Chains A and B, each alone.
Chain A
Amino acid sequence: MLIAGIDMGGTNIDGVIIRNGSLHKAVKHQVNHDDVLHSILACLQDLLRDVDEGNLERINLSTTVCTNAIVEDKVSQVGLILQQGPGLQWQFDRMGDYLRYLSGSVDHRGKLVRSIDKEELEQVRQEFSDSPIEAIAVVSKFSPRNPTVEEQVHQLFADAYEHITLGNSISGRLNFPRRVETSYLNAATYKTFNAFADHMRKALSEKQIKAPVYILKADGGTIDLEGAAAKPVETILSGPAASCMGMRALLSPDNSDSCLLDVGGTTTDIFFLVDGVPVFEPQGIEIDRRKTLVRAIYSVSIGLGGDSHVRFVEGDLQIGPERLGNAVAFGGEEITPTDALVYLGAMEGQYPDKSHQALKRVAGQEGIMPGELALTIVAKMCSMIKNRIGDSLRKINSSPVYTIKELLEDRVVKPGSIGIIGGSAKALAPYLEESLSLPVNCPEYFAVANAIGAALAKPTVEINLFADTEREIMSISELGVYEKIDKNFDLAEAKRIALAKTREAGRALGLDEIQSEAEIVEAGSFNMVHGYLGADKNIRVKAQIKPGLLTGDR
């Protein structure tokens, strides 16, 4: 069976065909950002040349359609309707010109404190009706506990708008300001992404390609094209996830803690695996200075790469964060870490003589030997990476826990090895190994690691189940589940349902029985005691299908 994986980067679009788990074919094209679809189709066409399309199982795509729309502010006008209620009053700016607040509120238990004012809402509807609004987003505080307010707004606006994002559908996790930002972005990218998806479907059907299309998410998982079209915000910033998943596929790390580095020309991305699974951002990813609830692999990017600008400022060696151009060894003007590695014989350059001369010149200005300069540059680069890894680990290891068990266990993430890809990876590896006192592994083929990562990423699902036996309700916001339960509903039942629903969602995304194995991430049941009337239960269960590789993790 064949899987096509396509990764869109800033300059290149890479494609791979994976055949029975091994790399069969790889292509590289330039991206035309003005016509993303065309770039993808050209890449796909190239990929599928001489390949039997009938054997194509799926097409996995990491796309920048939504990311670019957001960063370049080419998004739809959104009518944003918020019910903020009592509490901290966030100022939501950068949400376009159509932001309205509703009165009324829901409390932390999901009890309706005061319902919305119908007249007030009707007034909003009229104001919006004569405007260029293309989509609506409605978010109320505590909507994952009670979506009534959002549903009421939906009912009133459904006829007039093609798309309405309801905050409760975004995530079952509580964070009103992030839910607002995420819902806004979802509504704002809806039209762009759906236009892209329509064209994609049409083009594929014209080419008689029947394989389903999946879109890579920032959490290293995929979502089918239909799912992505309904929740386009899920497709933002999938680039780092492609890189992380690609490294996982190439390095096949064991189930221990490790650190993955993608050393590019301008930046170095750092990821961590705990027990072999990527560490996530605690709340969600940030895009264009907006904090979202979009689940994402934790990645740290530093302005340090093979082409970073190297110079002395008052005798102090500085590297990056800017890149002035190629290394001298590859036709540039100013020396870079790559030139240092070329001087040390760790890698080969196109113009080694020019590179050596440039390095000697800088060394002469600073009154040191060129060999010493080269070593100093590489050592500095290693120590910058080392420090950043240390900072990130401190952050990860101090993330809050809420149970005595977790606090006493004190699970400390401590990488036992480093994986590295990128242009200068192989050359840098031995130096990094010495600096970090850890084994550093560099895979053979990493030029198309991101496309491999995209190709092999499997669908992921995360759900938050909430049940309240006093109110006799159970909800799974992510799946739109709101059901009545009886008083005897308990944690065991909640876990069973959470696992079943997660698996079911996984199967719907095309996972087989083994791949759709779900796990409980958090589970708690709290006695709610009122007087002597006995206790009800407040139950919370988080379940997931964690990110992994379609070929199975070795």
Chain B
Amino acid sequence: MQAKNTLGLILFPAFDWAISPTHPEREERLLYTQDQLLEEGIEDVEGIEFHNPAIALDKDINRVHFCYPDAKTLLTESHYIASGGVMKAFDLVLGGTTDKSFALVRPPGHHAQRVVYGDRGFCIANIEAVGLEYARQKYGDMRVAIVDTDCHHGDGTQDIYWNDPDTLFISFHQDGSTLYPGTGFVDELGGPGAYGCNINIPLPPNTGDQGFQYVLEHTVLTILSEYKPDLIINSAGQDNHYTDPLTNMNFSAQGYAALNHSLNPDIGVLEGGYSIQGALPYVNTGIVLAMAGLDYSGVYEPDYHLGKWKQSDKVTKQVEEIAEAVYQLWQKRKELGARKFGGQKSVKRQRRVYYDTAGIMESQVQEFKVCRNCPGVNSIISQNDQGAKIMGITVPRQACPSCQREGYRLFSEANKAHYNQIYLQDQSKDQYQVRIPTRR
């Protein structure tokens, strides 16, 4: 059997790591996926190669996050490896080894935001962002679309790329009013430097294969054809599956495979999905076959019967309305952005962020400089209910000289007395610094 697209698989089940012995994110999570892939003989398909993950360095993490107190304290080895797995996925494709790649690694990362105090939604490091920013430093700038098909809103990825016009983030998910993390509404469109490049498609509970395919074809593919990304990444969370214990959607392995086939991503990254027996083995096999350009029509779950998971007419109508609304916003993004930010020198955004896994409440104020020449230098002042207060300054990759200077000025002039730590994330020079003021 010969794959139409060569595919690099980074299957790293981390059989010796769990958040805790009975946590959904435990050793067993990819066991049956591995069994299924082995039994299907995927290793013997010509053109599909298995690779070990790389191991991310602190610098790779600091390129994306402000970790408090630091990456080493917060991340486990498994987080460095999951991030490294995605870095390897980028290397395989951008280095020309394979046409496509799929990182089946754990734990996931899409709930990890710029500031990290601990675990949120089983995520500490945003593995897609770590991989993508590593790749941009190594292979040069590129326009990238990240399509997040996890059932939960990819709020971490949204936050990281909020103000980056070169990263189009599209998240399909179960409506935030019915599911963690409670965000991801259509009006969350991005910062002043990238308004409209953050797209949320909240779907009603019980959306099935038909609804996902509709949104993909009607909205996502149209937007992608207009945005013209150099690279498409699929954050392939698998908890939209009808057997998932944490969510209420009706997506199937066939649906996931068909979606992946239509989306035709260059890189896939496993995100969440905790129906480890009923969904993951089938969804992962479906995605692997779809990415390799092989026939996936034989992949279905033991209890999959056509029609059983068909969505109701009411859901169909809701899905169609949302899909249309999102597309309208996309089309009007420039004028909406001008109306929202016109005439402002800087834009502030205030938020509270809850770390469900770690039990930490954070409040933060982000400030984005509105710049005509680049997305603009920006900063975060954040404090949490454990007594930490930090300031983080980001000089974006595309920063103009003035914003670069401004970043360094903010960093050196920040009032030491106010913060436990001050960070400078200079993505334009790939340099990352921390000032730890002496005790107040």
Contacts and interface: CB of A to CB of B under 8 A. Distances in A.
Interface of A: 86-91, 105, 107-109, 111, 113, 141-142, 173-178, 282-283, 291, 398, 400-405, 407-408, 524, 526-529, 535, 538
Contact of B12 (A175, A402, A528, A529): A402
Contacts of A398: 51-52
Contacts of A405: 16
B40 A87 contact: yes
B380 to A, nearest CB: 32
Contacts of A404: 14, 16-17, 77-78, 81
B139 interface: no
A-B pairs with the 6 shortest C-beta distances?
A177-B41, A526-B28, A174-B39, A113-B302, A174-B38, A88-B40
Interface in B59-113: 77-78, 81
Nearest to B302: A113
A168 to B, nearest CB: 12
A515 to B, nearest CB: 32
B295 A527 contact: no
Specify which of B11, B32, B81 lies most central, judged by the most chain A CB atoms within 10 Å of its CB. Answer: B32
23 contacts: A86-B298, A88-B45, A88-B295, A88-B298, A88-B299, A89-B295, A90-B41, A108-B36, A111-B302, A174-B39, A176-B39, A283-B43, A291-B44, A401-B52, A402-B13, A402-B15, A403-B16, A404-B17, A407-B81, A526-B31, A527-B27, A529-B22, A535-B22
A21 to B, nearest CB: 40
B52 A400 contact: yes
Contacts of A87: 36, 39-40, 285, 298-299
Specify which of B34, B36, B51, B300 lies most central, judged by the most chain A CB atoms within 10 Å of its CB. Answer: B36
Specify which of B24, B28, B41, B282 lies most central, judged by the most chain A CB atoms within 10 Å of its CB. Answer: B41
Specify which of A105, A407, A527, A535 lies most central, judged by the most chain B CB atoms within 10 Å of its CB. Answer: A407
A119 to B, nearest CB: 22
A109 B33 CA distance: 11
Nearest to B18: A527
Contacts of B343: none
Contacts of A282: 43
Interface of B: 1, 11-17, 21-22, 24, 26-28, 31-32, 34-36, 38-45, 50-53, 55, 77-78, 81, 277, 281-282, 285, 289, 294-295, 298-302
B13 to A, nearest CB: 5
Contacts of A524: 15, 27
Given A402-B15, A404-B77, A407-B52, 17 more contacts: A86-B300, A87-B39, A88-B1, A88-B41, A88-B294, A88-B295, A175-B44, A178-B41, A400-B51, A400-B52, A403-B15, A404-B16, A405-B16, A407-B12, A526-B31, A528-B28, A535-B21
B32 A109 contact: yes
A177 B44 contact: yes
A400 B36 contact: no
B52 A538 contact: no
Nearest to A109: B277
Contacts of A109: 32, 277
B119 to A, nearest CB: 17
Contacts of A107: 302
Contact of A88 (B27, B35, B55, B289): B289
A174 B35 contact: yes
B21 A527 contact: yes
A407 B285 CA distance: 24
A178 B44 CA distance: 9
A408 B76 CA distance: 13
Contacts of B17: 404
B237 to A, nearest CB: 20
A467 B367 CA distance: 56
Nearest to A176: B39
B26 to A, nearest CB: 6
A527 B14 CA distance: 14
A175 B39 contact: yes
Contact of A176 (B15, B27, B41, B298): B41
Contact of B41 (A175, A401, A408, A538): A175
A524 B34 CA distance: 14
B43 A105 contact: no
B275 to A, nearest CB: 12
Contacts of B77: 404, 408
B28 A538 contact: yes
A529 B25 CA distance: 11
Nearest to B285: A87
A402 B51 CA distance: 11
B159 to A, nearest CB: 28
A176 B39 CA distance: 5
Nearest to B281: A108
A383 B15 CA distance: 40
Given A176-B41, A405-B16, A527 B28 contact: yes
A527 B26 contact: yes
Contacts of B22: 527, 529, 535
Specify which of B26, B78, B289 lies most central, judged by the most chain A CB atoms within 10 Å of its CB. Answer: B26
A424 B166 CA distance: 62
Contact of B34 (A91, A178, A402): A402
Contacts of B38: 173-175
Contacts of A407: 12, 52-53, 55, 81
A527 B78 CA distance: 18
Contacts of A528: 28
A111 B44 CA distance: 25
A528 B278 CA distance: 13
A142 B36 CA distance: 9
Contact of B39 (A89, A141, A400): A141
A207 to B, nearest CB: 45
A407 B32 CA distance: 21
B51 A176 contact: no
